[in-house]
Amino acid sequence: MSAQEPAGSGAGPGSNGTQPRAAVAIEARDVRRVYRLDGVEVAALRGVSLRIEEGEYVAITGPSGSGKSTLMHLLGCLDRPSSGELLIDGRDIARLGDADLAQLRNEAIGFVFQSFQLLARTPAVDNVALPLVYRGVGRAERRRRAIAALEAVHLEHRLRHRPTQLSGGEQQRVAIARALVGEPRVLLADEPTGNLDTVNGEEVMAILERLNRERGVAVVLVTHEAEIAARARRLIRIRDGVVVEDTGTDRAAPPVAATDLARDVKAAQE
């Protein structure tokens, strides 16, 4: 399936034996984002079109300044495009007011940040339950779901621990549980292993991949690391605000060669 292919539900099973396509969770159509700084226009994205379906495992990579972080913010409803259409769960975010956009973000998207973004004085179980507070979920149900989410990342023994009492890997697992607790369609992870050592980074990636495989949550991660990006079933490479490579949604397709990814990593470090 091409990144430029228009939206639509695929044909159902028929005489040709084809299977229905997965539902589209996110679709961008010629999305552009221009920032105006001191009277100067800076084009961070210059016409990005792509679609992400339920259950996909996607890595977005590119050198610093390529536009990948801007794209991540747009996909997460943290910003709006300057032009083009961006549909999250079938809704054009440009047509939503702030309250509706916040509700869509809370219900459809889960976030995992490089720096964890946990409340320092708040126990793990309450950090995880926080997104449910904004939904108006009752206290008992919030706690039940938060505990279940922590169990999913193997932290049921750390319910009352504050972030300062947890290792970096455990903090990131709490952040994954918080992203998971609202049962989002898409989990966005921005450099999820960037602040972790190799062992903890591997554990975090294994958890994300298990959630993708077992729960069908679409996982979209931004990374500079060639080894991390190569684990995804689909790779989108961005340079100068445009998609220069997209391996598409064919899960049998091999990832982009590690040597190509390493070139972008090296460029980001220069």
CB count within 10 Å of CB 183 equals 12
The mean pLDDT value for 155-162 works out to 96
How confident is the model at residue 80, as a pLDDT? 93
What are the C-alpha distances in Å from 152 to residues 60, 132, 174?
25, 17, 10
pLDDT at 254: 37
CATH of domain 55-79+96-269: 3.40.50.300
Write out pLDDT tens, residues 98-130. Answer: 999 999 999 999 999 888 999 999 999 999 999
Is the pLDDT higher at 166 or at 250? 166
Q: How far apart are CA 105 and CA 103, in angstroms?
A: 5
Q: Are 264 and 237 in contact (CB under 8 A)?
A: yes
As a whole number of angstroms, the distance between CA 129 and CA 205 comes to 22
CA angle 183, 128, 148 (to 5 degrees): 60
pLDDT at residue 115, rounded to an integer: 87
Q: What is the DSSP letter of 191?
A: S
Give me the mean pLDDT over the 220-238 stretch.
93
Predicted confidence at residue 14, as pLDDT, reads: 44
Instruction: State the pLDDT confidence band at 17, using cuts at 50, 70 and 90.
Output: very low
The pLDDT assigned to 38 comes to 86
pTM for this entry: 0.80
pLDDT of residue 22: 57
Average pLDDT over residues 73-90: 93
